[in-house]
């Protein structure tokens, strides 16, 4: 019986042997080497709502910024100050969490003027009767800046501005020369006033003298705290335009002081504060007398490049003669509107305090 059983098992295993043989032959057949393909991962469905905000893809715009300038370009704009003043100015700007693209400090708190007497730079900044430190911040998105700044420094803004929010502040900022001021703000032991504008508004005024409110301030010495290539380029154009305008209104022979006074006085042409008891009447002379070295550093490299050709000189001189009054009109409206905006941005209390200080300077300059 044993042989029969063996034969029966052999017969029943024949299909299995045949199948295994065919499978073995199929695997062992020569095939070209193929790269291993990893298994594809299909996106899983999320349970988030359809309106869930996803981050937008960053878009590169090569014309949006000016990334680099020659190393020595605009070096006349980098005016030195004492180490203590520089450290104080930088520490004040560093206190702000909101993004600032370009920042400078200006006025009698940074560079000495007649009428302010102190025995040392530290006393000039923090001593009795010390002037308020003036800053200007240029930002990319004003509503974003004011939103962050309101959260960090709510006391810088009047109550109504905090209640109405950053959108309201940015809308008021756009009016007139495009600046919002916060005044009488104590920071790092000193009193400061800072204006906020946009990079686009600043560069537009530097190039086109749209209002001369910002461009005029930047005709005079200032200390750059945060630099920007686009602003440095347009500021060089602004300084050159100031020299050319001043040269065409001066006689054939003039002194260095007369040139600087004419440049410093451009932004005060038509300013209502100079006609009312709201500003020191000798302000231009006070600035130039004490800041003559800074004016010289700012302009002396640019003067040789401002020569006119005969036809160009005739056309520009005709334009300036026709529009001496026109420059006054350019300054008058935005300067007047900005004065009224000060009541909105600073509040009634700070506005009265600021006006009283200006009236005092007006009497002292009589």
Q: Residue 280 has what pLDDT?
A: 64
What are the residue ranges spanned by the domains of the chain?
75-304+317-346
Distance of alpha carbon 257 from alpha carbon 365, whole angstroms: 19
pLDDT of 7: 47
pLDDT at residue number 27? 44
Cα angle 35, 37, 40; round to 5: 170
| pLDDT at residue number 351 | 60
pLDDT tens for 295-352 read 999 999 998 877 655 445 544 454 554 457 666 777 776 777 766 676 766 666 666 6
Strand partners, 194: 135, 182
pLDDT number for residue 131: 74
SS (H, E, C) the chain: CHHHHHHHHHHHCHHHHHHHHHHHHHHHCCCCCCCCCCCCCCCCCCCCCCCCCCCCCCCCCCCCCCCCCCCCCCHHHCCCCCHHHHHHHHHHHHCCCCCCCEEEEECCCCCCCCCCCCCCHHHHHHCCCCCCEEEEEEECCHHHHHHHHHHHCHHHCCHHHHHHCHHHHHHHHHCCCCCEEEEEEEECCEEEEEEEEEHHHHHHHHHHCCCCHHHHHCCCCEEEEECCHHHHHHHHHHHHHHHHHHHCCCCCCCCHHHHHHHHHCHHHCCCHHHHCCCCCCCHHHHHHHHHHHHHHHHHCCCHHHHCCCHHHHHHHHHHHHHCHHHHHHHHHHHHHHHHHHHHHHHHHHHHHHHHHHHHHHHHHCC
- Taking the C-alpha atoms of residue 292 and residue 284, their distance in angstroms, rounded to an integer, is 12
Interatomic CA distance for residues 16 and 88, integer angstroms: 92
pLDDT of residue 334: 74
Residues 6+ away with beta carbon under 8 Å from 132: 107, 109, 183, 184, 191, 192, 193
* Cα(11)–Cα(75) distance, integer angstroms: 101
Query: What is the per-residue pLDDT for 282?
Result: 75
Closest CA to 107 of 345, 325, 357: 357
- Give pLDDT, residue 77: 96
> What is the pLDDT, as a whole number, of residue 114?
54
Residue 217, C-beta contacts closer than 8 angstroms, at least 6 positions apart: 106, 136, 267
Render pLDDT for 270-305 as a digit per residue (tens, 0 to 9): 666 666 555 666 788 889 998 999 999 999 999 887
Model pTM above 0.85? no
Q: Which residues, other chains included, contact 185 with Cβ-Cβ below 8 Å and sequence gap of 6+?
A: 153, 155, 156, 191, 192, 193, 194
Residues of the chain whose pLDDT is less than 70? 1-67, 113-130, 270-281, 307-323, 325-327, 333, 338-340, 342, 344-366
- β-bridge mates for residue 106, sequence order: 134, 222
Query: How far is the C-alpha of 203 from the C-alpha of 65, rounded, in Å?
Result: 12
């Amino acid at each position: 019986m044993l042989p029969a059983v063996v034969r029966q098992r052999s017969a029943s295993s024949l299909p299995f042997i045949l199948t295994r043989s065919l499978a073995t032959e199929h695997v062992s057949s020569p095939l070209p080497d193929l790269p291993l393909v990893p298994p594809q991962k299909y996106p899983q469905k999320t349970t988030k709502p359809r309106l869930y905000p996803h981050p937008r893809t960053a878009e590169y715009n090569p014309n949006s910024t000016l990334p680099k300038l020659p190393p020595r370009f605009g070096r006349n704009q980098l005016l030195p100050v004492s180490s203590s003043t520089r450290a104080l100015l930088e520490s004040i700007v560093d206190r702000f969490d909101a993004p600032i693209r370009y920042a400078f400090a200006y006025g009698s708190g940074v560079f000495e003027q007649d009428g302010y007497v102190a025995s040392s730079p530290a006393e000039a900044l923090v001593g009795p009767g010390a002037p308020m430190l003036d800053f200007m911040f240029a930002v990319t998105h004003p509503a974003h800046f004011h939103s962050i700044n309101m959260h960090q420094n709510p006391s810088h803004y009047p109550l109504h501005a905090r209640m109405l929010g950053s959108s309201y502040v940015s809308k008021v900022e756009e009016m007139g020369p495009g600046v919002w001021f916060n005044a009488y703000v104590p920071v790092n032991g000193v009193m400061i006033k800072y204006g906020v504008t946009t990079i686009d508004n600043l560069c537009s005024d530097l190039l086109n003298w749209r209002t001369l409110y910002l461009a005029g301030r930047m005709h005079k010495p200032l200390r750059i705290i945060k630099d920007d290539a686009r602003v440095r380029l347009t500021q060089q154009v602004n300084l050159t335009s100031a020299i050319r305008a001043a040269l065409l209104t001066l006689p054939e022979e003039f002194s260095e002081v007369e040139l600087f006074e004419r440049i410093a006085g451009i932004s005060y042409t038509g300013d209502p504060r100079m006609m009312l008891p709201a500003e020191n009447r000798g302000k231009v002379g006070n600035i130039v007398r004490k800041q003559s070295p800074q004016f010289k550093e700012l302009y002396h490299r640019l003067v040789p490049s401002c020569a006119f050709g005969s036809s160009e000189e005739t056309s520009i001189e005709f334009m300036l003669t026709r529009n001496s009054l026109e420059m006054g009109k350019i300054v008058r409206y935005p300067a007047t509107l900005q004065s009224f905006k000060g009541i909105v941005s600073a509040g009634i209390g700070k506005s009265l305090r600021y006006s009283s200080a200006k009236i005092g300077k007006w009497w002292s300059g009589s």
